[in-house]
A and B are shown apart, each in its own frame.
Chain A
Amino acid sequence: MNTTTVVDKQTKQTNPNLKKVKTSNGIKRTASLILNVFLFLLSATCLFPIIWVAYSSLKTQKEFSLNIISLPTQFHFQNFIDAIEITNMGTLLFNSTYVTVISVVLTLVLGFVTAYVLSRFTFKGRAIVYTLFLLGMLIPIHSLLIPIFALFNSVNIANKWYTLIFPNVAFNLPIVIFLIENFIRTIPKELEEAAYIDGSSMLKTMFYIILPICKPVLATALVLSFLHTWNEFPFALVLINDQNLRTIPVGLANFTSSFTVNYPQLMAALVIAILPVVIVYLVANKQIIKGMAAGAIKS
């Protein structure tokens, strides 16, 4: 062991040749420059389309068609007023918001309880329950569009204010359950045993001792289910007919089909549609990035 380090030191001492070091520094600097320029170009490619849409939404239609790339000469907020009116954006925002809030809360509560039971207790049928949830992550959800549409219509729960909560919660549950279940497994059981000895009931232990420990994984689950629900499209498209119950993605999809395209106006609608997500992302990008990566790897 000692001899090898000695040899290393010797070669290091004989090797240094000032010229060589200098050129390799030069190469390093050029490489660093190229790499950084390249990375900035890439970042720009990811941001620019959305920035372009944002500032173009403030131009008049004429100004936009004359020069698509220039910045607006003055802010033409009329596009936003028109877009809000045409798409009925107030209603869309309201619907998307309450559907998302209720779905996310339900997902987290049901997901936590289910994950706790699955991770802590052994019982008959546990493997079957587990497999069913696993199945839910593998089946392409579009293969369920028709039967869900038929079932919801036959029991008369399609096209209601609460309709979309069902598929949103059900399709968010599997990944949320697996995330939380994995996390609870890392919590030592002694914690609960101690609590029981102190006379804590099961529900109390679950909600007052385990739940607070699960905060980080619940944050991940929150991020994932918020984004899935807010952006969900196919079920909202198929299960909702009533204009007053539509969510943002479906409202947008209907926007272009009903009017001759006024691009700055469409862009204004797009800006309003992504604004909530952008704000959330600006505030919590660290948690979102971490959460989505964790969710992706676990699935």
Chain B
Amino acid sequence: MKSSALRPKWYVIWGLLLPTILLYGFVVIIPLFNSIRYSFYKWMGGPLNNFVGLDNYSRLIHDDEFWGSFQHTMLFVVLCILGQIGIGFLLAIFVNSKLAKFQSFHRISIFFPVVVSAVVIGFIWSIIYNKDVGILNWVLQSFNLDNLIVPWLDDPKYVMYSVTAPIIWQYIGLYMIIFLASLQSIPQSLFEAAEIDGASGWKKTIHITIPMLNGTFLVALMLCIAGNMKAFDHIFVMTGGGPGNSSMLMSLYAYTMSFDRMQMGYGSAISIGMLVISLTIIGLSRKLLGGNQS
């Protein structure tokens, strides 16, 4: 009775999967292995004939620029975790509060930057930071805070913070929505029971909301790490990694090395380094924070 439609032949199954696998293999899998191969060559984009073994990797280990970009990436990811998840969570609690009015308006407007292209956000913020026409300095001046004005994108001391702020700002809405969704799934009876026992608003948050959202925090954290390791577009537009290398992330460094300096062999080694570091960090944080979550 179980017809061929319920248990199709192997060639039917693979026939259906074939287009996807061909496309995916061509764009993702083959390039992934090629990348490893290129990293053993000194290669400027022409014929691949100058095999150098592990030279690119020993150069990578001693490359201060690369480790600088690694440090920037780490600082950047940590700031994004604090900003996006921290502020996103607080906002979710506020918006979800019974006292808040116009909840859907807040949701729609706080989420809005999420859908705008990163390139456009980068441009908007370079105008915001501009020393002559920027709105940030205008705001500081109108509050008589002129002494706080710095060359936001031109001072190596501040530039990492300046380029991180727009990215945190853009994605707060996404984390707020994620937390809102799981806040609303907490059974109301828990809060009612706590109220009967006389728990105040903050007590409820600390003893019910936060423990109930454990899983969501983990999901948000993974998303935040994986997502921000991929950051590129905003900073490409705002500073291109400068001034000097002071806002260079790993992704930007690999791009600059490969497509501006045309050192594609070494650029591939950087890419592989970045890949290994990313996967290690994602794997480690998953292990550390309770491996039983899928």
Contact = CB atoms under 8 A, between A and B. Distances in A.
Interface of A: 8, 28, 31-32, 35-36, 38-40, 42-47, 49-50, 52-53, 64-65, 68-69, 110-111, 113-114, 116-117, 121, 123-124, 129, 132-133, 135-151, 166-167, 169-171, 173, 177, 192-193, 196, 200-202, 205, 227, 230-231, 233-234, 238, 248-249, 252-253, 256, 263, 266-267, 270, 273-274, 277, 280-281, 285, 288-289, 292-293, 296-297, 299
A273 B117 contact: yes
Given A249-B117, A266-B123, A274-B116, A147 B38 contact: yes
Contacts, number: 261
Nearest to A202: B5
A31 B99 contact: yes
Interface string B92-126: 00110101111001111111111111111001110
A66 to B, nearest CB: 10
A205 B5 CA distance: 9
A132 B174 contact: no
Given A143-B35, A249-B117, A263-B133, A201 B5 contact: yes
Contacts of B237: 253
Given A142-B271, A146-B264, A46 B173 contact: yes
Given A68-B135, A234-B255, A274-B117, A167 B27 contact: yes
Contacts of B109: 43-44, 46-47
Given A143-B275, A150-B38, A253-B236, A46 B113 contact: yes
B contact patch SS: helix
B99 A192 contact: no
B226 A142 contact: no
Contacts of A201: 5
B253 to A, nearest CB: 10
A296 B115 contact: no
Contacts of A137: 226
Contact of A296 (B28, B106, B108, B174): B174
A289 B108 contact: yes
A238 B112 contact: no
A57 B292 CA distance: 52
Main secondary structure of the interface of A (DSSP, over half): helix
8 contacts: A35-B97, A36-B101, A43-B109, A50-B116, A234-B233, A248-B117, A266-B127, A281-B115
Given A28-B99, A233-B119, A42 B110 contact: yes
B17 interface: yes
Interface of B: 3-8, 10, 12-13, 16-17, 19-21, 23-24, 26-32, 34-35, 38, 45, 91, 94-95, 97, 99-102, 105-120, 123-125, 127-128, 130, 132-135, 138, 169, 172-174, 177-178, 181, 196, 219, 223, 226, 229-230, 232-233, 236-237, 251, 254-255, 258-259, 264, 267-268, 271-272, 274-275, 278-279, 282
Contact of A277 (B115, B173, B174, B229): B115
A293 to B, nearest CB: 5
A234 B230 CA distance: 11
Contact of A196 (B6, B118, B230, B258): B6
Contacts of A47: 109, 112
Contacts of A297: 178, 181, 219, 223
